[in-house]
Amino acid sequence: MALLQIAEPGQSPVPHQVKQAVGIDLGTTNSLVATIRGGRAAVLPDMHGAVMLPSVVNYSAPDAAVVGLEAQAMAVDHPADTLVSVKRFMGRGRNDAYADAQRAHYHLAEGDEGMVRFVTSAGEISPVQASAEILRTLRNRAVATMDSDIDGAVITVPAYFDEAQRQATKDAATLAGLPVLRLLNEPTAAAVAYGLESAEEGVIAVYDLGGGTFDISILHLHRGVFEVLATGGDTALGGDDFDAAIADWVIQESGSPSLAPGQYRQLQAMSRAAKESLSTASGVDINMAEILPGGAAVTLTRETFESLIQPLVKFTLR
């Protein structure tokens, strides 16, 4: 996430020769774009002052994709056309992605070389295309904020991403008009963000449990240089799975019948809100009447939540 100054040999850089670079956190749940200002990293806001962009893309209209909060608001009415957690599908085949797609109520097709594609009202959409819409939105935000075009981007990816997933990320950036300077492993980016590179030497464990992916990396730091000693994780494990565990529990406890795709999306959103509330509250009510007439209300305690996610957390620690 740096502002690069590039000049020909023997010449001094002048304003019109300055090259602008940004750093992008392309997340499963939310995405960010940042640059260097006054020697410090600054996250760039949108026109409303919000820095986080929900990683959601809606394809209800045949001629234009909708990205971010507006797309998120369309998920209940257009579940099959509203793509969330697209990062979990990057570089994956149709059969490999089937379980995640079924839970999200997506309709899948098989694209080139067996890669997954989503069937939407706008046609078949690949995870690369959807990710490109997110990256394009961040690029446009950066251009508007910095009043300058962008010459390149450093994009973070899970350390456990394989070559197909990394190439898919690069392809998405290309579609968005963003030259990729480097793909940076998220654990390394986290270590730098916390200033750990200023230490002289040491071995650091970075545990990164995100919205849809999990990484654990062991880094060796020597004179400001990180060496990755070992890495592991799961590119389909994260907060989304915690939300699903809550949603399934609510359905069971409330005795609710099978939910339509839009209703399940609404329950997922309520489950996520409940999870976040438990950061400060000991319990939170989830009222199924907001989804189904006559639906029962259940109380999710922090203790119950911890028991629901215990198998997932144990998996990350073994």
Q: Which domains does the chain have, with CATH numbers?
A: 4-53+131-186 (3.30.420.40), 55-127 (3.30.30.30), 239-317 (3.90.640.10)
Catalytic one of 171, 186, 215, 243: 186
**pTM across the whole model:** 0.85
Tell whether the model's pLDDT for residue 3 goes beyond 50: no
Tell whether the model's pLDDT for residue 174 goes beyond 90: yes
pLDDT of residue 22: 95
Catalytic one of 81, 87, 234, 241: 87
Averaged pLDDT for residues 97-101: 67
Concerning whether 112 is annotated as a catalytic residue, the answer is no
Concerning whether 46 is annotated as a catalytic residue, the answer is no
Catalytic one of 81, 100, 208, 243: 208
Query: Who wins on pLDDT, 107 or 30?
Result: 30
Q: Mind listing the pLDDT tens digit for each residue in 144-153?
A: 998 888 899 9
Concerning whether 208 is annotated as a catalytic residue, the answer is yes
pLDDT of residue 9: 44
Concerning whether 87 is annotated as a catalytic residue, the answer is yes
Cβ of 191: how many Cβ atoms within 10 Å? 20
